[in-house]
Amino acid sequence: MSMNIIERVSQLLHPAECTEDESEAEIRFSQLLASLMVMAWFVEARDPYTGGHLWRVSQYARLLAEAGKLDSAEVARISLGGFLHDLGKIGVPDAILRKPASLSDEEYAVIKTHPEMGMHMLAGHPLAGLIKNAVYLHHERPDGLGYPRGLTFENIPLEARIVGVCDAFDAMTSHRPYRAGMPLERALGIVSEGLGRQFDPNFGRLLIELGETGQLDHIRGHSDDGIPLLSCPMCGPTLAIRREQLPGEHVYCRNCGGEFVLVDDERALSAEPTGRCGTPTDLQTVVDEVLIARSVETAVRAMPARELMQRQLSAARV
């Protein structure tokens, strides 16, 4: 991760000189938070079948926290945990992370190490306390059959329970190389069946209510607000388009390497195959700086830097 990426994100957040209302602490906090989110984004960029996963889990977590009547600062913190929850997958080999089939027991055991890896990556980071529970414990289950610690309901932090149900819901409704994404009704049914065992009963019910009333539709199948995933004819809905991209630009399927040109069909952009494949340069990871900057700015505005830092210090003592 290059420091100039963090500087560019910071410029997007603070394009002009700092005003009297913008404290140095807020700018520093923004830069620290951007550093974490860029690292997390690189995990997603390695897996072509999870385009937008971090953004979707973050948005689902925000909606659930709001529906649960949590205060705005806590909503922001839990939403951040949703964006960063898979940080530890940086340590998972590509052969496993990108495998186009179901994992073997041995491979699944490697995947299960990512919460521990995430904690190792957070070690020493000034903001670790804000999101460590979401990173480390989002695969725990109320019935004690989760990992990495096998905690039961009363010992699983609230943010981990919220992010856990959101992560599972997005996994069920997203396309994978070995299966299509589930219909909404089926995914909500699985959440309902797992209430109190696999999923937090209260926040699981809230997710079901939001899903049944259409309040998740603008997130499901999208990679950013108002930007649906586009489909590769070989690989399915795997094309994550950045907000600033325009008609005529080329995009590439990160799975098969196919090249597409963006076309304006009056309602939204669509992607038409060119019949060519991208070069290694074309297929390299491009950080979505605008999405990250907007996410950071939303968090900082929702929870002032002083309060964020205070919560970080409190969490660090636990």
* Residue positions annotated with a catalytic role: 89
Rg for the chain, CA atoms, rounded: 19
Q: What is the DSSP letter of 154?
A: G
Q: Any idea what the Cα angle at residue 55 is, between residues 106 and 140, rounded to 5°?
A: 45
Element (H, E) at 13: helix 3-13
Percent composition of the chain: helix, strand, coil (DSSP 3-state, to 5): 55, 10, 35
Helix (H) or strand (E) holding 305: helix 305-317
| Rama region for 261: left / alpha / beta (φ>0; ψ in -120 to 50; rest) | beta
- How many CB atoms neighbour CB 6 within 10 A? 20
Question: Do 318 and 136 form a contact (C-beta atoms < 8 A)?
Answer: no
Cβ atoms 197, 215 nearer than 8 A: no
Give the position of tokens 């939403």: 79
- d(C-alpha 239, C-alpha 78), whole Å: 27
Determine the residue type at 277: C
